[in-house]
Amino acid sequence: KLGVHRALVVSNWEIAKECLTINDKAFATRPKLTSSEHFGYNCAMIGFAPYGPYWRQVRKFSTIELLSNHRLELLKHVRELEVKTSLQQLYQLWNKKKSSTCDKVLVDMKRRFRDVTLNIILRIVVGKRIPNSYEGDETVKWKKSLDDFFELSGKFLISDALPYLRWLDIGGDEKSMKKVAKDLDQAVEEWLREHKEKRAENEANSEEDFMGLLLSILSDTEEHDADTINKATSLNLILAAEDTSSITMTWALSLLLNNRDALNKVKQELDIHVGKDRLLLTESDTKNLVYLQSVIKETLRLYPPAPLSVIHEAMEDCTVNGYHVSAGTWLIMNLYKIHHDPLIWANPFEFQPERFMTTHKDIDVRGQNFELVPFGSGRRMCPGVSFALQVLQLTLANVLHWFEFETPSGIAVDMREGLGITSSKATPLEVNITPRLPAFVYDTSN
């Protein structure tokens, strides 16, 4: 039990499969938690919304207007341009900071991965990008609010387990949630106001991004007004994409730096399929990078973005593994345990991308193979899996193609994990960079 709630924690892939296939509809709703009330616009966010007509409608909008294969193909140029812009800025930084005696420049790739991911999703959802520097009160405040969101979302409040203690706000976490939610909402409210103004002036231009599209198709529902739905849905997509993608890229580069043989194999693959006389990789190039795809799968196995799944709640009585499960029971998937099961994965704690080219070559991350479900499965599976994989493959491929990476003094990367709902790296990923390609290749990129 978790306080007053019955809870079922699943650490076995076969039972997870039973829960999310045979009993998928029974476990399709979410409990109402303090975080879903404050961060989720009182459950208007699709990630927090209870199962029902409202959730189905908003998920349909999100899938068709942003996350369908057709829409993702139309948005390919945004992803490619933002990756190019980010790497050009990194090259310019290297050019500016290198000296005559040392051509290595120290950068924090954890921050760089975050910035490029955030710019891609902001461009697509609200038609904006963040300033490159961390200067400016609004940028600093916005990023701090994002950090606080993920840390607070990962906390299980005593009041969620024991609702009658909520009025005490033990630890002050609910007060903090209210403040962070207010700060995030102020930014999204401003974006929505700008979209409405543009729409009034010139309707065609205001509908190029997701928030603009929602303005034209949303109407009030019984549960929420149209503006709340727009803000909640847009923010949900930004939050989900930004954190999980940047975290996975940070872990992937960290693992490669601690496993130089694997890093060399990635570079060999790039040399074969791209060569050193071309700078920019496109998404069509990434289809040929089979070893890099295996590196990403192995990273998602070792460090699933959310080690524990978002909580499901049983809407009706059901049977799991022969046991009766009552309506109202919480279901939590221990993805970390499933992904490290020695019965499925030989040497489960070792970084071995080759397993996805040999013994586990038929296992994918799209929710069909329950031994590896970093994005979940079933009705409540993350709808952005295709988008996430495109961003991961395109960004990592270009980063590893453009630059050589070394840790300072050759020391191993610190692999400690931070706090929060997602498995972020606790410390920055500070590495020395040097250009990997001949100088003339970079000169033609501007």
Query: Is residue 235 within 8 Å of residue 241, measured between CB atoms?
Result: no
Query: Is residue 20 within 8 Å of residue 177, measured between CB atoms?
Result: no
- In total, the chain counts a number of residues equal to 446
Q: Which of 209, 424, 392, 416 is nearest to 283 (CA)?
A: 392
* Lookup result for tokens 């193609």: 401
Rounded CA separation 80/77 (Å): 5
Burial class from Cβ neighbours inside 10 Å (0-12, 13-18, 19+) for residue 78 reads: middle
Rounded CA separation 214/207 (Å): 8
Q: What does 277-346 look like in DSSP terms, one character per residue? A: S-----HHHHTT-HHHHHHHHHHHHHS-SSSBPPPEE-SS-EEETTEEE-TT-EEEEBHHHHHT-TTTSS
Rounded CA separation 405/398 (Å): 13
Strand partners, 262: none
Q: Give the Cβ contact number of residue 67 at 10 Å.
A: 22
Phi–psi pair at 430, nearest 5 degrees: -90, 120
Residue 418 token pair: 């931070």
Spell out the residues 6+ positions from residue 254 whose beta carbon is closer than 8 angstroms to its own.
413, 415, 425, 429
Q: Is 19 annotated in some ligand binding site? A: no
Burial class from Cβ neighbours inside 10 Å (0-12, 13-18, 19+) for residue 349 reads: exposed
Residue 213 token pair: 């599209």
Q: Give the Cβ contact number of residue 220 at 10 Å.
A: 11
Q: Which of 187, 215, 218, 190 is nearest to 203 (CA)?
A: 215
Burial class from Cβ neighbours inside 10 Å (0-12, 13-18, 19+) for residue 423 reads: buried
Spell out the residues 6+ positions from residue 17 whose beta carbon is closer than 8 angstroms to its own.
370, 377
| Secondary structure in 3-state letters for 190-227 | HHHHHHHHHHHHCCCHHHCCHHHHHHHHCCCCCCCCHH
Percentages of the chain per state (helix, strand, coil), in multiples of 5: 55, 10, 35
Q: Which residues belong to the annotated binding site for heme?
A: 382
Q: Binding site residues, as ranges? A: 382
